[in-house]
Structure formats: structure tokens, C-alpha cells
């Protein structure tokens, strides 16, 4: 799970600003 988290962080850093906002918004709603 740690490598997946690292991959998401690295991908997030490369996103344009407007997509970062969308990414964060979508991450708020986790599936249970």
C-alpha cells in the first residue's frame, strides 16, 4: 500500500492546479 500511496503523491505533484483541486475533492469521498 505504501508504494501505491507514493505513486499517487508523485502523480499529484505533476497535475495542473485545476486537476489537483478535483483530485483532492474526489479523495474526500472514500468507499467503505
Residue 19 has pLDDT above 70, yes or no: yes
**Mean pLDDT throughout 8-29?**
80
Q: How far apart are CA 32 and CA 21, in angstroms?
A: 22
Which H/E stretch holds residue 15? none
Residues 6+ apart with CB under 8 A from 20: 12
**Mean pLDDT throughout 6-25?**
80
pLDDT at 8: 73
Q: How far apart are CA 22 and CA 30, in angstroms?
A: 14
Domain boundaries, the chain: 1-32
Of residues 21 and 30, more confidence is placed in 21
Residues 6+ apart with CB under 8 A from 15: 23
pLDDT at 14: 84
Amino acid at each position: 500500500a505504501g508504494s501505491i500511496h507514493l505513486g499517487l503523491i508523485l502523480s499529484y505533484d505533476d497535475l495542473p492546479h485545476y486537476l489537483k483541486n478535483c483530485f483532492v475533492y474526489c479523495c474526500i469521498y472514500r468507499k467503505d
